[in-house]
C-alpha cells in the first residue's frame, strides 16, 4: 500500500502517519485508529511532503496539494 496520512494538530502544525509495511487495511481504517477525533486529515504521497525535514515545525495544514511551509521566524 502506498501513501501516508497527514493530519492537522491543535497548534496548526501537522503530523504524518506512516503505515507499517504489514498494515493490510485501508488508509481510512488507519486514520480511524490514529487521527484524533475531529482533526482534519487526508491521504498524501511522498511528493506532497517538503524535502527538508529539518523545518518540520514550520509545516502547516493544507487541504490539498503539497504541505505548506510557514516562513521561518
For the chain, give the secondary structure using H, E and C: CCCEEEEECCCCCEEEECCCCCCCCCHHHHHHHHCCCCCCEEEECHHHCCCCHHHHHHEECCCCCCCEECCCC
Domain count, the chain: 1
**Which range marks the domain in which residue 45 is found?**
4-69
Q: What is the pLDDT of residues 28-59, one digit of tens each?
A: 999 999 999 999 999 999 889 988 888 888 99
- pTM (2 decimals)? 0.86
Amino acid at each position: 500500500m502506498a501513501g501516508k496520512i497527514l493530519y492537522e494538530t491543535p497548534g496548526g502544525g501537522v503530523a504524518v502517519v506512516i503505515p507499517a509495511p504489514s498494515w493490510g487495511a485501508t488508509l481510512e481504517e488507519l486514520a480511524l485508529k490514529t487521527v484524533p477525533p475531529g482533526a482534519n486529515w487526508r491521504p498524501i504521497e511522498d511528493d506532497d511532503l517538503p524535502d527538508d525535514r529539518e523545518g518540520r515545525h514550520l509545516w502547516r495544514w493544507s487541504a490539498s496539494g503539497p504541505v505548506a511551509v510557514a516562513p521561518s521566524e
